[in-house]
Amino acid sequence: MSRHAGCSCGCGSPSREQFVDLGTPDPAPRYPSGGASHAIEQVAVPAGIFTMGDSSGDANSGDGELPRHVVRLAEFTIDATPITNDDFARFVAETGHRTEAEVWGFSAVFHLAVAAPPRDVMGPAAGTPWWLGVRGADWAHPGGRDSSLDGLGDHPVVHVSWTDADAYCTWAGRRLPTEAEWEYASRGGLEGATYPWGDDDVYAGGWRANIFQGEFPASNTIEDGFLTTAPVRTFAPNGYGLWQTVGNVWEWCHDWFDPRAYTAAPVTDPRGPSHGQARVLRGGSYLCHSSYCNRYRNSARSSNTPDSSMGNAGFRTAAL
């Protein structure tokens, strides 16, 4: 297993290896298509050309948001929202899928969100002590074994690895969006914009995204109303009708991550490197803040190992 770490500023996520090496789980099963059960509203994103990469000068060193480059994409469809807990529960009910968090027996929980007996807390992630390994934390118990999904059916599913997301896609007859598709869709037709709504700050008379307020990591004032996840249709959709592509939860993409990927990316329908150790995450999460992590932007990139799960990452699906 790789030793690749997640977002180094801490708003991203620790990789599983930052806690402990527990061996190798069984390979994820492959499921027959259950596409009729994938009931999320679809957005048809038109074919087009856009300039991919950081346009605001906010790129984080090492993330590989540069150089900016022209990309041409065919038309595709994408979920209007991330996969919710209710959506994922249907998948689990039909397939019996066990997430990697369940197989490994633990997942990463932000310290202010832990709901578990002290004996379940394994300790902090190396280098990011606000992330705690919690036994019994999984998609159905996002804070640990003392938590549940009561009242969270319309919140994005979390504690799902890239492998779990890919298994859902196989069942749904869909796939994860490529990194280029994700950024193009998040821009909502606003060429060069920093955020899905334009270049105005995340707060302009009201919050536009679910991010961290207060002094990270000790105190969140919850000015936007949410300590962790928000319902997927909170705030406002972008110009294409996509909800919350930035903030709330990081979203897994199809591509392997490479900080040098943009230096030789194909112009037409790029799908990322052919191999790697980590998969791309996009969009930032409820732990992002401009004072230490400005990754709640259209062009921002992060990554983690495909077997890692955490309380601030989910996914949405796409198809041609």
The CATH number for 309's domain is: 3.90.1580.10
Q: What is the pLDDT of residue 3?
A: 28
Average pLDDT for residues 117-143, to the nearest whole number? 96
Q: Which domain holds residue 280?
A: 16-200+207-319
Tell me what the mean pLDDT of segment 64-79 comes to.
Answer: 97
8 lies in a domain?
Answer: no
pLDDT of residue 294: 84
pLDDT in tens, 72-107: 999 999 999 999 999 999 999 999 999 999 999 999
| Contact assessment for residue 291 and residue 272, using Cβ atoms and an 8 Å cutoff | no
How much is the pTM? Answer: 0.92
11 assigned to some structural domain: no
Average pLDDT, the chain: 91
- In this predicted structure, the answer to whether residue 293 has a pLDDT above a threshold of 60 is yes
Q: Is residue 9 in a domain?
A: no
Token couple for 131 = 């992330």
Q: Is residue 35 part of a domain?
A: yes
Does 304 reside within a domain? yes
Residue 85, pLDDT score:
98
Report yes or no on 4 lying in a domain. Answer: no
Please give the backbone phi and psi of residue 172, each rounded to the nearest 5 degrees, phi first.
Answer: -80, -5
Q: How many domains does the chain have?
A: 1
With bands split at pLDDT 50, 70 and 90, how would you rate the model's confidence at 49?
very high
**pLDDT, tens digit, 9 for 90 and up, residues 207-259:** 999 999 999 999 999 999 999 999 999 999 999 999 999 999 999 999 999 99
**What is the pLDDT, as a whole number, of residue 64?**
96
> Is the confidence at residue 309, as pLDDT, over 90?
yes
| pLDDT over 70 percentage in the chain | 89
Half-sphere exposure (Cβ direction) of 147: Cα atoms closer than 13 Å: 21
**pLDDT given for residue 7 in this prediction:** 47
CA distances from 291 to 33, 200, 215, 216, 297 (A): 44, 16, 9, 9, 14
Residue 30 has pLDDT above 70, yes or no: no
Model pLDDT, residue 33: 56
In a domain, 137, yes or no: yes
CA-to-CA dists, residue 214 to 169, 211, 222, 295, angstroms = 36, 10, 8, 17
Mean pLDDT, range 23-39, rounded to an integer = 60
Above 50 in pLDDT, residue 319? Answer: yes
Burial of 37 (0-12, 13-18, 19+ CB in 10 A): middle
Q: Give the mean pLDDT of 191-218.
A: 94
- Separation of alpha carbons 149 and 87, rounded Å: 12
Q: Lowest mean pLDDT: which of 66-70, 80-84, 184-188, 292-296?
A: 292-296
Query: How far lies 176's CA from each of 44, 314, 319, in Å?
Result: 15, 11, 8
CA pair distance 311, 13, nearest whole angstrom: 8
